[in-house]
Amino acid sequence: MQKAQKQRMTTPPRAGRLAAALATATVLCVTASGCVTVHGELEVLPGATESEAAQALTDFITAYNAADKAYDPALDADRVTGSLGAINQAGLKARQTYSPGGNKAHKPLELTDATYIIPKKAGWPRWFLADTDSNRDEDGGKLDTRWLVVFVRSGPGALWKASYLGVVPPSQVPEFTRDKDGLATPVDPQSGELTVSPADLSIAYTEYLQKGTPDVFAPSTATSQWRETRRTTRRAGFSYQYIDQPLTGSTFGPLGLRTEDGGALVFFSSKHFERQVTAKGLRPEVNADVKALMTGEVTNSLTKERISSQLVHVPARGQNSDSGGRVRMLNRLPGLVAAKGE
């Protein structure tokens, strides 16, 4: 795999306010694609400078480590958003409940060797991808991984917040399409040039898990194998029900970058419910995390709610890829966010 070279330059949309009878006045119009119209012109700018991106990464790491050490979600609440934020905040809330003294086993997170992939786009939100090396490699450090962290800024006065995280081997980090200034190309959420548009990925994924169609995903542990595992799970006295829902709006929207092979690397979010119902005399198991986030009382039913972020490679429409033109799942990051006992 050829590692991407280091970059040297690096919710819902609001309707614009049009001043009556002032045709020449400055107009700001933020649309679903984030376009900004100034004096009737579309201004396309880098999402960030390299120094801004580096500072955003530093600020995130500092806040994340403080929150993890104290098990206090308030300490990094203003540095996370989207699916990563939902998972992070719920996890810290749960651990604070049963470990009020903080994290006795805290090990500071380190994200180094950062490459910043910065797209050129119009309007807000602006965003960039940090391709980093972490000190949390799997298998005791034997399995090298890269942490791909997406940072989003919602407006001129807003803080940079981490919204997505994907953990992949270095070989899975693609070459991104760059212009003469080294800036990356963002993918239009409604793009028809890919086998599945980014805006449709969450819907397609959750429908696939429920029905087996549309069959647009390459086989993997997070697609065909997970669906089969859920279908064949058996335990005496227990029944299992699964509901999958797309997450597409506000801070959970998809974000993608064009890759040199003609496709795109895309992050998207989804929501998943798992309900366990037991026969008389049995009771679903409730661990510490579930108990801390649970409402109601478990008698014979327990519903767990999880939010998940997915990192996928989507080939170009008609492209003859290794995955047979299907969307390839690179990483899935789920997290428990709520539970309900009945």
Is residue 42 over pLDDT 80? no
Is residue 2 over pLDDT 80? no
- Domain, as residue range, for 294: 187-342
If asked whether residues 156 and 196 sit together in one domain, one would say: no
If asked whether residues 266 and 321 sit together in one domain, one would say: yes
If asked whether residues 148 and 115 sit together in one domain, one would say: yes
What pLDDT is stored for residue 22 in this prediction? 31
The arithmetic mean of pLDDT across residues 299-310, rounded, is: 97
Higher pLDDT, 99 or 322: 99
- CATH code of residue 144: 3.10.450
Residue 27 within any structural domain of the chain: no
249 confidence band (pLDDT: 50, 70, 90): confident
Closest C-alpha to 173, from 341, 342, 6 = 6
Is residue 114 over pLDDT 70? yes
If asked whether residues 173 and 59 sit together in one domain, one would say: yes
Domain boundary among 148, 182, 216: 182
Residue 278 within any structural domain of the chain: yes
Tens of pLDDT, residue by residue over 274-283, are 999 999 999 9
**Mean of all residue pLDDT scores within the chain:** 88
The arithmetic mean of pLDDT across residues 288-310, rounded, is: 97
Is residue 245 over pLDDT 90? yes
If asked whether residues 202 and 328 sit together in one domain, one would say: yes
The arithmetic mean of pLDDT across residues 175-184, rounded, is: 96
What pLDDT is stored for residue 323 in this prediction? 67
82 confidence band (pLDDT: 50, 70, 90): very high
Domain boundary among 138, 163, 182: 182
If asked whether residues 175 and 196 sit together in one domain, one would say: no
Q: What's the predicted TM-score (pTM) here?
A: 0.86
What pLDDT is stored for residue 289 in this prediction? 97
Higher pLDDT, 194 or 7: 194
Residue 19 within any structural domain of the chain: no
Domain boundary among 137, 153, 182: 182
What pLDDT is stored for residue 10 in this prediction? 38
Tens of pLDDT, residue by residue over 200-236, are 999 999 999 999 999 999 999 999 999 999 999 989 9
Residue 38 within any structural domain of the chain: no
If asked whether residues 87 and 101 sit together in one domain, one would say: yes
Is residue 20 over pLDDT 60? no
If asked whether residues 157 and 228 sit together in one domain, one would say: no
What pLDDT is stored for residue 137 in this prediction? 83
What pLDDT is stored for residue 25 in this prediction? 32
37 confidence band (pLDDT: 50, 70, 90): very low
Lowest-pLDDT range of 19-28, 58-67, 142-151, 203-212: 19-28
Residue 299 within any structural domain of the chain: yes
What pLDDT is stored for residue 169 in this prediction? 96
What pLDDT is stored for residue 176 in this prediction? 98
The arithmetic mean of pLDDT across residues 148-160, rounded, is: 96
If asked whether residues 176 and 191 sit together in one domain, one would say: no
302 confidence band (pLDDT: 50, 70, 90): very high
Residue 24 within any structural domain of the chain: no
Residue 154 within any structural domain of the chain: yes
What pLDDT is stored for residue 142 in this prediction? 67
If asked whether residues 113 and 192 sit together in one domain, one would say: no
What's the number of domains the chain is made of? 2
Residue 35 within any structural domain of the chain: no
Higher pLDDT, 143 or 241: 241
If asked whether residues 259 and 294 sit together in one domain, one would say: yes
43 confidence band (pLDDT: 50, 70, 90): confident
To the nearest whole percent, how much of the chain has pLDDT over 70? Answer: 85
State how far the Cα of 252 lies from the Cα of 269, in Å rounded to an integer. Answer: 6
Residues in Cβ contact with 34 at an 8 Å cutoff, skipping those fewer than 6 apart: 13, 121, 122, 123, 124, 125, 126
If asked whether residues 159 and 219 sit together in one domain, one would say: no
